[in-house]
Chain A
């Protein structure tokens, strides 16, 4: 904060100047963070979109549960929808997905169209066979049987185009950990909370489900753990020659799916920053271009490094509260921390925690 009064060289009318300077500095820092994310997040996703998408086909179990438990006709937002793998999970809700990456949104769009066409054909077939289809909430296979209505758009999660309180629920999966300052991460959560309905008459408002990558990944091959560096550049190796089908989930339920949140290859992650202690300055280091050239031993699968902030235990809940939300439930699933949050009601104590399948 600005010092209140200093008998300094500042001219007398300078309080306003000082404030202006300070906000200019804040704006510069913000611009720097945006710039950083443009290179180390957005640029990378644009470059790896098809490959990334081919490895993202299987919903997180808890996210699937959350989506399938929403009522018919509910309106949901998927902020950072990527290739849209969650948009069709529950065909009886209206899902609206947004992502910063136009390439991923285009992929999500064609995916949604395909699901819709398949659905139309299936129901025609059923009609011919004289079967009845109540259409209510019966879908729910891994990818979803029928996309009744899924829509996608390109938007930044810090400048969302959704009208306030328009949604029954919001999901935001593996997005917020890409923001390079804590202020921006909290701001992102604030935006999510603003999209959902406010609670009425003592009821909780709409729910916001957030997933972020955990620092504590004791069982993962990545070897990150408590006390480690939280701000990292994580490599994505773009397998150039093989445009093969994604491995179909051979793994049985319960087995670890490192594929789903995988690093696409190598796991050595570079520390993103020397100045992460404040958490307010974007890390500085390798540029994506430099990283891209760093494929080892003359073999040239390009490597892209994405910025991640790995959440430590409890940090996500702290961010929710700082963003003006309250935590309804929270937990850990396969290397991720998750939280179900709602906008904090000033008066009502949060008594009603809806029971939730694990």
Chain B
């Protein structure tokens, strides 16, 4: 699963939805792989306002990437600065979490990721 995807995921436990601690989920024992994905600048520019930037900063730091700036780049900056664009593309689109766990910061539940696919099915006591 892509880092991009992680920005849209929270804990599946109902009681956690209202807690800000449940987002973003925290990768644990993460094995990363890099994909070759064609850069699509306009797609990235359009995706940017749909991201939770603060959560992306957290994820990026937790995965050991260089610290992202506090504010997201503006569209103009992104269009003018190829390096920022490339870096963001590489982080969001090309970086894949292949194995490991995603941990909810509220309830502590761990969701397994295997072969790049996270599994959010809950044990019956958490449904």
Q: What is the 8 Å Cβ interface bit string for chain B, positions 100-127, against chain A (1 contact, 0 not)?
A: 0000000000010001111111101001
- Interface size of B by CB at 8 A reads 38
> Contacts A151-B5, A153-B1: A100 and B121 contacting too (C-beta < 8 A)?
yes
Chain A, interface SS category:
mixed
A155 at the interface (CB under 8 A from B): yes
In the complex, the answer to whether B43 meets A92 with C-beta atoms within 8 Å is yes
In the assembly, what is the distance between CA of A120 and CA of B4, in Å? Answer: 19
Residues of A within 8 A of B5 (CB): 96, 151, 153
Quick check: which of A164-172, A214-222, A231-239 contacts chain B, the rest being far away? A164-172
Neighbouring B residues of A31 by C-beta, 8 Å: 124
Verify if B26 is at the interface (C-beta below 8 Å from A). no
Which of these binds chain B: A1-9, A68-76, A315-323? A68-76
What sequence of 0s and 1s flags, for each residue 126-154 of chain A, a beta carbon within 8 Å of any chain B beta carbon? 00000000011000000000001101111
Contact with A along B40-68 (1 / 0, CB 8 A): 10111111001010000000000000000
Contact check: which of A136, A151, A156 meets B1 at CB < 8 Å? Answer: A151
A163 & B117 in contact (Cβ 8 Å cutoff): no
Q: Does A123 contact B (CB under 8 A)?
A: yes
Q: B12 at interface (Cβ–Cβ under 8 A)?
A: yes
The 5 closest A-B pairs by CB, nearest first: A73-B46, A155-B120, A161-B12, A161-B120, A154-B119
Taking A94-B43, A161-B9, A162-B8 as given, write out 15 further A-B residue pairs in contact, using a Cβ cutoff of 8 Å, ordered by the A residue number: A71-B46, A73-B50, A75-B47, A92-B43, A102-B117, A105-B117, A149-B93, A153-B117, A154-B118, A158-B127, A159-B13, A159-B120, A159-B121, A160-B12, A161-B11
- 9 examples of A-B residue contacts, CB within 8 angstroms: A72-B42, A73-B42, A73-B50, A102-B119, A152-B117, A156-B121, A163-B10, A164-B17, A168-B50
